[in-house]
Structure 1
């Protein structure tokens, strides 16, 4: 080293600091790359993305290569800096120990600023700008130093096994909650309406057919044993394209009649009870508890659009259509984008809400942005009865899920209507009879 001038050593030191900055920035850039964007770019033929993705498939080798290069450069830079420091400082009668201490301190600050913090910060802010061109040089360095990198990985893996740590392949797959967070944070990249639809799709497996079905008491159906004039009127005035047909009791179902078929028979003056029975379609049954994502796939697989929900005893619980499931994703087909209370919810002059107690709790929560529990009964009537463990009388007041509720009408062993006060209004005791 004595034959090499101090100026040459100083230039060599600067080159080593730049190389150290390259390794530091490359490490941060490669590890900061968005794996999903990287796969997208690689799939579109981006050469830099392909190289980076291939190297990230073996992160142990990539990290080993960068650390080998960075440590070799930093150790060599430390040695060169020590020689330069001793040459310069001894001219001012500073002893060797002090020279080494001063050189070490100065070099540490320089490396931290110019070879660590600055390149890593820049790489973290612009990972693709650094990683893609850098991956070309790293690729050739890996080929050159592969035996050394493999040996280092073998020693490291053995040491980890001694500590009881097993090497586990990283899994980049997003969980449902992580995917939900990605959708929420997409911001302007995904329109608000589309975000809501994506989140609704993720929620399908949490919702069962009972949550959206039309209860058996509300099913529009034709009793084939009724007077034929009444049947004819029901067919003509039906609000649905498919109508359930039964005999006397809804549990004794015959099938579905498509109004298109019934009206065609009427136009040909061939409509009768016997022709109605011949035109009915076979019933598609759905077990209760079926998640909506599963039922959506079942509808598609079985080429069905409507089904009857039955419990474990085969008793009919309600009716579900394909449109009901699609509305869970895209919203109500029959309403505008402006949210307005349904006919089951009436705003009173005092700010309270008069509500039909047969309303589905999930629909009520959606419309009013409320938070009634949905993991039990599906209707407000059922929720109140479960809470009280009894069928209340009219004018019973209670506080349920932090909402002040007053029972207005009770008939046929069920609550017909209730009044709900907003949370901001004062409430009475948890449960009291007026």
Structure 2
């Protein structure tokens, strides 16, 4: 009588390995450069070892180590600042209108950064509803200043170690070139993070006054054309973000601008993989002419 071997483990009874364990096995080979590593990652995705979200985040981590602050910083021209000698109500208005939580405080110019104002530090001065006696210098936090050549992985480590969320970026001559936040760095890894520019998920075009609109990069060109009365071709690209990237010839940085027909596009937010948000301004429009698309948006409300 043959011995019963049913108690011995078979293939199906082995514990299921996580995608990380299986990826680790794949990475034990002799990898000579980053291109080979990326190919292993893409092969792992094709074999369903990792999903597309995990692949994108791993790629983001790898790319962050090769990127510098200048690649993602908010340019000086787009910085929302608090003036040192501004009246308390003017400071409060700036905070409310911008919806930011941190602001560089400046003296005579944007090159004269004297500290960082946290919006929450204003609360005690406005709780009583009376005109507060506020000296902004008393509540400023020290400003962290970094060169625009600093690598993002180093900056992220410093942000975490020092519990800072914002840094002022200076150029080689010591002038302020812009600013960068911890959110800007994290977006390169995990993708888009909602902020003050965001609007409803099912809305793709948000029309403003003065003939400007905020447009998501994933807006189909067909919907964009319908809203703005344009005739951009969608034969080669499906989305307006793809069209802008093609016209620029590269993945744009925040603040880059381009004119197409009678529209000016400015990149509000982008990562090293995708354009997320655009500001679109109609050019050469008479002041008396109403805004295009005021009655609705391509994505619905």
Which residue pairs with 1:316 in the alignment? Answer: 176
User: 1:181 offset after TM fit, Å?
Assistant: 0.9
**Cα distance in 1, alignment partners of residues 164 and 255 from structure 2:** 27
Aligned-partner SS, 1:189 = coil
Residue equivalent to 2:102: 242
Once residues 278 and 219 of structure 1 are traced to their aligned partners in structure 2, the CA distance between those partners, rounded to angstroms, is 22
1:203 shift after superposition: 1.2
Q: Report deviation, 1:283.
A: 0.4
CA contact (8 A) 2:23 2:49 kept: no
**1:243 touches 1:257 (CA, 8 Å); kept in 2?**
yes
Whether 1:352 and 2:229 are equivalent positions in the alignment is no
Q: Which has the higher contact order (CA 8 A, sep 6+)?
A: 2
Look up the SS of the partner of 2:153 in the other structure.
helix
Report the CA distance shift for 1:210/1:253 in structure 2 as closer, same or farther (over 3 A): same
Matches within 5 A, 1:117-128: none
**1-structure distance, mates of 2:27, 2:77:** 52
1:202 is the counterpart of 2:33: no
Q: Based on CA coordinates, which of the two structures has the bigger radius of gyration?
A: 1
Q: 1:372 aligns with which of 248, 262, 279?
A: 248
User: d(CA) in 1 for partners of 2:98 and 2:26?
Assistant: 55
Structure 1, unpaired ranges of 5+: 1-33, 41-170, 354-363, 385-396, 398-404, 411-415, 420-434
Distance 1:351 1:273, change over 3 A: same
> 2:143–2:168: 8 Å Cα contact kept in structure 1?
yes
Aligned residue number for residue 37 of structure 1: 25
| Structure 1 Cα separation of the partners of residues 93 and 26 of structure 2 | 63
Q: Is the 8 A contact 1:365 1:372 kept in 2?
A: no
Structure 1 residues 378 and 38: alpha-carbon distance in aligned structure 2, compared to 1, 3 A threshold: closer
* Aligned counterparts of 2:86 and 2:174: Cα–Cα separation in 1: 25
Matches within 5 A, 1:127-142: none
CA displacement, residues 24-78 of structure 1 (integer Å, 9 cap, x when unaligned): xxxxxxxxxx9953998xxxxxxxxxxxxxxxxxxxxxxxxxxxxxxxxxxxxxx
Partner of 1:180: 38
What whole-Å deviation, never above 9, does each CA across 1:74-109 have from its counterpart, x for those lacking one?
A: xxxxxxxxxxxxxxxxxxxxxxxxxxxxxxxxxxxx
Q: Give the superposition deviation at 1:331.
A: 1.2
SS of aligned partner of 2:150: coil
Q: For 1:236 and 1:304, how far apart are their aligned partners in 2? A: 22
Unaligned runs of 5+ in 2: 1-21, 207-213, 234-239, 266-279, 284-301
Q: Compared with structure 1, are the counterparts of its residues 409 and 260 closer, same or farther at alpha carbon in structure 2 (3 Å cutoff)?
A: closer
What SS does the corresponding residue of 1:201 show, helix, strand or coil? helix
1:259 — aligned with what? 119
Deviation at 1:240, TM superposition (A): 1.2
Superposition TM-score, scaled by structure 2 size: 0.60
| Cα 1:374–1:238 shift into 2, 3 Å | same
For the residues of structure 2 that align with 1:35 and 1:329, how far apart are their CA atoms?
A: 19
Q: Which residue of 2 aligns with 1:215?
A: 75
After superposition, the Cα gap between the structure-2 partners of 1:371 and 1:298, relative to the gap in structure 1 and judged at 3 Å, is: farther
Contact 1:287–1:312, Cα closer than 8 Å, also in 2: yes
- Give the number of aligned pairs: 219
Aligned equivalents of 1:374 and 1:231: distance in 2?
A: 38
